[in-house]
Amino acid sequence: VTSGSALHTKLMDGGNHSVVSEFLLWDLPILGRFRFFVFCFSHVIGNLIVLTNISDHHLHSHMCLLLANLSFTDTSCITLMLFIHTVVGTEVVLFIIMSYD
């Protein structure tokens, strides 16, 4: 069946007939206020597991080196985001103080 044929047009003319009435996103109510801490902690533990695998000489391979690079990139990205949020937060506080004065 080619893309310009009548059969292809007939088959593809139906469209999407599915109807989504609701979207459920389940949450763990146990976490509550500690959700961000659990997320950051699991991220750090994942990076530590990758770095531990790299430190074992029997596990050296190209994939481990790529995972170490990914781990380093994630850590540097989080550090950069923390720095940017700190600087922007300080700037906002200074603007508030200046506008109050």
**49-96 residue pLDDT tens:** 878 777 877 766 667 677 778 888 888 898 999 999 999 999 999 999
Residues 6+ apart with CB under 8 A from 38: 31
- Is the pLDDT score of 4 beyond 90? no
Six token digits for residue 57: 């000489």
What percent of the chain stands above pLDDT 90?
21
- Is the pLDDT score of 14 beyond 70? no
Arithmetic mean of pLDDT, 3-24: 63
Residue 22 to residues 27, 29, 82, Cα–Cα distance (Å): 16, 20, 35
Predicted local distance difference test score (pLDDT) of residue 1? 46
Six token digits for residue 87: 């600087």
> How many residues are listed for the chain in this entry?
101
Q: What is the reported pTM?
A: 0.38
Residue written as tokens 């088959």? 11
Residue written as tokens 């080196």? 65
Listed by start position, the domains of the chain span 30-100
Q: What is the mean pLDDT of the chain?
A: 77
